[in-house]
Chain A
Amino acid sequence: MLTQALFRALDKKAIWVIAIFLAVAVLVPMANLLIPPGQYGHVPTYLVSLMGKYLAYAILALALDLVWGYCGILSLGHGAFFALGGYAMGMYLMRQIGSRGVYGNPVLPDFMVFLNYSELPWFWLGMDNFWFAMLMVVFVPGLLAFVFGFFAFRSRVTGVYLSIITQAMTFALLLAFFRNDMGFGGNNGLTDFKDILGVSVQAQSTRATLFAATAIALALSVLVCSMIVNSKLGKVMIAVRDAESRTRFLGYRVEYVKLFAFTVSAIMAGIAGALYVPQVGIINPSEFDPANSIEVVIWTAVGGRGTLIGPIIGAIVVNLGKSWFTTTLPELWLFALGALFVFTTLFLPKGIVGLWHQAWGRMRRKTEHAERPAPPTPAQSADIERGEDPASFGHEAQPKPAE
């Protein structure tokens, strides 16, 4: 069954996406390490880290797309899962500092010495082991999503209500992690990392490796998502998105379908956070800011939700724009971001990918010289099957007034 799912997943366009990111995972580090600086084709180390950051964001956007684009759950709390994964990674990195901290304590991180801790809090135990920490990266966001989702979906908290309570969850976590006595470094967070798996996080080769790991993780995420959405479960997810009550009346356990999607998505977000932290070098409570979670939503929306490639494109494009704006026109960035939100929701409900399909469909129709038929064309049926709204192909993509 698994092989069948694998083949079905690889049968689609997804294989190209996976191949591209695997190639990127090899080529970029090579361009960084093997081509000497100054020569054509060399990728500077800072750029490798920056692109690694974007790819981590892309995983996060893909994770959100799995619940929002395919299952209709708009989570405004994915930033929290991302940050939790990041904190788990940060805790491991903190423990690796050892006695090289400012206070030279072999066990306690600096901020704990500063706050007069006598011993490690229980939740820091074992975080010096890499594999245990990686387990926590997966386990903590997964468990939170499972428990939260279990109760929320069981009591049929849907739509806007769910969005608002996920936002409340993020906000509560933001407040909690800002407290010094939580044992997570308060508002300074965790930073000043030294080693990862025995090698320096600052080293060029480590950065290249981290980039490769992120790119491979993204490729794997695409594979996993493709497997999910192309399976029968994926069809049910799309059914839940489009007509939840109807799906329930057909006999499906809607809450479990949603819980599955939500938990898998949270785990992906946690992994993205864990890959993000060593490349950026800091994790602090501002990652829990509800605004961040909403920003993730706009990446997904810009790229095109309900597609696998869309959120990746969206995350990379929006963050490229952010990097460009914040260096050249910092005061205009929020205008641009805000306008992006408004413009995308009004004119690009299917995102960049939808726009592409629209243009492609129009071109093809023109060559066929055919009127747009009332029943969906075979191509459209395939798209419907893949979970893409046929509305994005015709002129109906334009928003309609309320009446």
Chain B
Amino acid sequence: MLILRALRLVLLALPFLLLPSNAIRAQDAATDIPAAIQAMGEANLRELEQIVADLAATGSDTVVPVLTALGDGNLYLEETSGAVLIERGSTYLEPLSGEAVELGADADLSKIRVNNGLRRDIAAALAGMTLMSDSPARRLTAAQGFLANPDPANIPLLDEAIAAETDANVLKAMQAARAVTILGDDEQSVADRKAAVPLVASGAGRNALTILNSALNGAPEELAPTIQSAIAGLEQERAIWGALQNVWFGLSLGSVLLLAAIGLAITFGVMGVINMAHGEMVMLGAYTTFIVQLVIRQNFPGLLDYSLLIALPCAFLVTGAIGVGIERGIIRWLYGRPLETLLATWGLSLILQQTVRSIFGPTNQMVIAPTWMSGSTEFFGLSITYGRFWIVIFAIIVFLLLLMVLNRTALGLQMRAVTQNRRMASAMGIRTPFVDAMTFGLGSGIAGLAGVALTQIDNISPNLGQNYIIDSFMVVVFGGVGNLWGTLVGALTLGVANKFLEPYAGAVLGKILILVLIILFIQRRPRGLFALKGRAVEQ
């Protein structure tokens, strides 16, 4: 066994000992590659081993497909012509050029057989060759391959490659692979293995913890503490990244809550109207998106990627118009009777839900995500899906726009004036009914915008709004009525708190805890986080 292993080591290392650098390898094509491949057809196992070594020694990329095919058992000999061919699916390829070969009717194919030992040699030879490849990407893959399947026999190979390596990233991967191999090899000295631990911890990425844990089993006593401290360090790091990931999820949930609640902050916070149909405005916004996408797909398929952007103004206008209608038709009769408004808008929400259910059916509808919103990216240790990312950005934009409308436009000024003193505003010539309608329309329109965003993370069903209405009210009440910043802080706090409670308490219990905490919080501060102060409150 030992002899065999030593033999293989020599065999593998041979080409690299002979050819110390990449530079001279190219010139030294001592082996006639086509002849060697031709010889494979009739060779026995021992001869094959030699040929593989010879081919590997050429260092030429052209032999990679042949060796791969041989290792995978896809290399065939055509008995009549004596040609060696690579099988791919139902076609047969010429090994060097990669061109498909037309087989005659009398073709007689037989597989070139390999055993496990040879297969390992081939894998090692391939890895060695790719490790010395000219392309950094290829070398990186090879190094990662070594990292995944550490074999002490490869250490000299890696040493060789590390010495010749110039690319910093690849070098790191190779060193990590070497460190993993050394750590797992009982025959290495304890000092070497100790030195390898930090490299493993820093370089092996997600698998580092598994590798270190398995190294800890059966590690000599002097080595164990080093590994343990490395594991502790890694776990702490992972905990920090886990917490950051939770913060991200929380922000993402919080921004959804913000979108859903911010329209409510206008109608409830600024106007004092309890709009239980707010969730249905969100739902109508989502259905508007669905219709817009349907129309675009049928008539302008080229614009499909922008359908969400097109849906934004549509949803705003549709839900805003419905909002104005509701205000003119129902709510204006109920000012000063907030509890009645609650009932009337609840009834309205039932009607809207049932209308949508009658038109579109009770089943869920789909809105396809545009290409720029699908997929995800790795940001250090965080995995961030683009969909969520854009929703966070969108929520922030909507919030800022709304803030600007309220504080920097004439309509915003009138809205605030009517909120603070209706009769005085009226006396100053502000058309208060018009402002009421516009305010309600604005709140509803923003709910429609939220609906567009929600199509990306939720099912579009008639019940969509129901899932958000209670949460939205919690956000507004928690943040403090009549204050947009309160809504922002409330939404983000609730989102983050929810995601932090989830791992400990489970999703449902976490939500229950949040509700209970809000109920308790309201006892402490009956008017929310950022309460309005002064006489206006008591009206």
Question: Which A residues are CB-close (under 8 A) to B422?
Answer: 402
A346 to B336 alpha-carbon distance, docked (Å): 13
Q: Which residue of B lies closest to A154 (CB)?
A: B523
Known: A167-B470, A399-B333. A159 touches B338 (CB 8 A): yes
State which residues 430-477 of B face A: CB under 8 Å: 432-433, 436, 470, 473-474, 477
Known: A155-B523, A338-B354. A403 touches B433 (CB 8 A): yes
A97 to B68 alpha-carbon distance, docked (Å): 70
Establish whether residues B346 and A160, one from each chain, have CB atoms under 8 Å apart when the complex forms.
no
Establish whether residues A165 and B519, one from each chain, have CB atoms under 8 Å apart when the complex forms.
yes
A365 to B347 alpha-carbon distance, docked (Å): 35
Establish whether residues A402 and B508, one from each chain, have CB atoms under 8 Å apart when the complex forms.
no
Known: A157-B522, A157-B526. A401 touches B333 (CB 8 A): yes
Establish whether residues B470 and A334, one from each chain, have CB atoms under 8 Å apart when the complex forms.
no
Known: A168-B519, A335-B354, A341-B350. A349 touches B336 (CB 8 A): no
Establish whether residues B351 and A339, one from each chain, have CB atoms under 8 Å apart when the complex forms.
yes
A175 to B333 alpha-carbon distance, docked (Å): 36
Complex partner residue of B526 from A156, A175, A345, CB under 8 angstroms: A156
Establish whether residues B346 and A341, one from each chain, have CB atoms under 8 Å apart when the complex forms.
yes
Q: Is the interface of B mostly helix, strand, loop or mixed?
A: helix
A86-94, A294-302, A376-384: which lies at the B interface?
A294-302
Establish whether residues B343 and A176, one from each chain, have CB atoms under 8 Å apart when the complex forms.
no
Question: Which A residues are CB-close (under 8 A) to B347?
Answer: 298, 337-342, 345
B103 at the interface (CB under 8 A from A): no
A298 to B350 alpha-carbon distance, docked (Å): 13
B33-41, B45-53, B157-165, B509-517: which lies at the A interface?
B509-517
Establish whether residues A168 and B518, one from each chain, have CB atoms under 8 Å apart when the complex forms.
yes
Question: Which A residues are CB-close (under 8 A) to B348?
Answer: 338, 341-342
B332 at the interface (CB under 8 A from A): yes
CB of B444, distance to nearest CB on chain A (Å)? 17
Question: Which A residues are CB-close (under 8 A) to B470?
Answer: 167-168, 171, 290
B353 at the interface (CB under 8 A from A): yes
Establish whether residues A345 and B343, one from each chain, have CB atoms under 8 Å apart when the complex forms.
yes
Known: A175-B512, A342-B330. A151 touches B339 (CB 8 A): no
A172 at the interface (CB under 8 A from B): yes
Chain B interface bracket (under 10, 10 to 19, 20 to 34, 35 or more): 35 or more
Known: A179-B508, A399-B333, A403-B426. A165 touches B353 (CB 8 A): no
Establish whether residues B340 and A345, one from each chain, have CB atoms under 8 Å apart when the complex forms.
yes
Question: Which B residues are CB-close (under 8 A) to A163?
Answer: 274, 339, 342
Question: Which A residues are CB-close (under 8 A) to B11?
Answer: none
Establish whether residues A164 and B335, one from each chain, have CB atoms under 8 Å apart when the complex forms.
no
A160 to B343 alpha-carbon distance, docked (Å): 12
Establish whether residues B343 and A175, one from each chain, have CB atoms under 8 Å apart when the complex forms.
no
A399 to B330 alpha-carbon distance, docked (Å): 10
Q: Which residue of A lies closest to B469 (CB)?
A: A290
A168 to B521 alpha-carbon distance, docked (Å): 12
Q: Which residue of B lies closest to A344 (CB)?
A: B343
Known: A338-B350, A338-B354, A340-B347. A168 touches B340 (CB 8 A): no
Q: Which residue of B lies closest to A294 (CB)?
A: B346
Establish whether residues A335 and B351, one from each chain, have CB atoms under 8 Å apart when the complex forms.
yes
B349 at the interface (CB under 8 A from A): yes
Question: Which B residues are CB-close (under 8 A) to A344?
Answer: 343
Question: Which B residues are CB-close (under 8 A) to A172?
Answer: 511-512, 515-516, 519
A369 at the interface (CB under 8 A from B): no
A349 to B341 alpha-carbon distance, docked (Å): 11
B358 at the interface (CB under 8 A from A): yes
B96 at the interface (CB under 8 A from A): no
A185 to B383 alpha-carbon distance, docked (Å): 38
Contact with A along B332-371 (1 / 0, CB 8 A): 1111111111111011111111110010000000000000
Contact with B along A284-297 (1 / 0, CB 8 A): 00000010001001
A178 at the interface (CB under 8 A from B): yes
B5 at the interface (CB under 8 A from A): no
A161 at the interface (CB under 8 A from B): yes
Question: Which A residues are CB-close (under 8 A) to B524?
Answer: 155
Establish whether residues B344 and A151, one from each chain, have CB atoms under 8 Å apart when the complex forms.
no
Establish whether residues A331 and B354, one from each chain, have CB atoms under 8 Å apart when the complex forms.
yes
Question: Which A residues are CB-close (under 8 A) to B538?
Answer: 245
CB of B167, distance to nearest CB on chain A (Å)? 54
A400 at the interface (CB under 8 A from B): yes
A74 at the interface (CB under 8 A from B): yes
A290 to B515 alpha-carbon distance, docked (Å): 14
Q: Which residue of B lies closest to A160 (CB)?
A: B338
A169 at the interface (CB under 8 A from B): yes
A152 at the interface (CB under 8 A from B): yes
Establish whether residues B350 and A334, one from each chain, have CB atoms under 8 Å apart when the complex forms.
yes
Establish whether residues B350 and A178, one from each chain, have CB atoms under 8 Å apart when the complex forms.
no
Question: Which A residues are CB-close (under 8 A) to B508?
Answer: 175-176, 178-179
Question: Which A residues are CB-close (under 8 A) to B477?
Answer: 161, 164-165
Known: A334-B354, A335-B354, A345-B334. A167 touches B340 (CB 8 A): no
State which residues 320-340 of B face A: CB under 8 Å: 330, 332-340
Contact with B along A61-96 (1 / 0, CB 8 A): 000000000000010000000000000000000000
Known: A171-B515, A338-B349, A346-B333. A152 touches B523 (CB 8 A): yes
Q: Which residue of B lies closest to A334 (CB)?
A: B354
A381 to B527 alpha-carbon distance, docked (Å): 37
Establish whether residues A161 and B526, one from each chain, have CB atoms under 8 Å apart when the complex forms.
yes
Interface centre among B346, B351, B432, B512 (most CB of A within 10 A): B346
Question: Which A residues are CB-close (under 8 A) to B519?
Answer: 148, 165, 168-169, 172
Q: Which residue of B lies closest to A72 (CB)?
A: B339
Q: Which residue of A lies closest to B340 (CB)?
A: A345
State which residues 37-71 of B face A: CB under 8 Å: none
CB of B471, distance to nearest CB on chain A (Å)? 9
Establish whether residues A167 and B473, one from each chain, have CB atoms under 8 Å apart when the complex forms.
yes
Interface centre among A74, A167, A341 (most CB of B within 10 A): A341
State which residues 321-375 of A face B: CB under 8 Å: 331, 334-335, 337-342, 344-346, 349
Contact with A along B121-158 (1 / 0, CB 8 A): 00000000000000000000000000000000000000
Establish whether residues A342 and B344, one from each chain, have CB atoms under 8 Å apart when the complex forms.
yes
Q: Which residues of A contact B (CB under 8 A)?
A: 74, 148, 151-152, 154-161, 163-165, 167-169, 171-172, 175-176, 178-179, 245, 290, 294, 297-298, 301, 331, 334-335, 337-342, 344-346, 349, 399-403
A-B contact pairs, 24 of them (CB 8 A): A156-B526, A157-B523, A159-B339, A160-B338, A164-B473, A168-B470, A168-B519, A169-B519, A171-B470, A172-B511, A172-B512, A331-B358, A334-B354, A337-B350, A338-B348, A338-B349, A338-B350, A342-B347, A345-B343, A345-B344, A345-B347, A346-B344, A349-B340, A399-B334
Q: Which residues of B contact A (CB under 8 A)?
A: 274, 330, 332-344, 346-355, 358, 422, 426, 432-433, 436, 470, 473-474, 477, 508-509, 511-512, 515-516, 518-520, 522-524, 526-527, 538
Question: Which 8 pairs show the lowest CB-CB distances between chains A and B?
Answer: A341-B347, A338-B350, A402-B335, A338-B351, A334-B354, A172-B515, A338-B347, A345-B344
Query: A339-B347, A402-B433 are known contacts; what are 9 more A-B pairs with Cβ within 8 Å?
Result: A165-B477, A168-B474, A175-B508, A301-B343, A334-B350, A338-B349, A341-B344, A345-B334, A402-B432
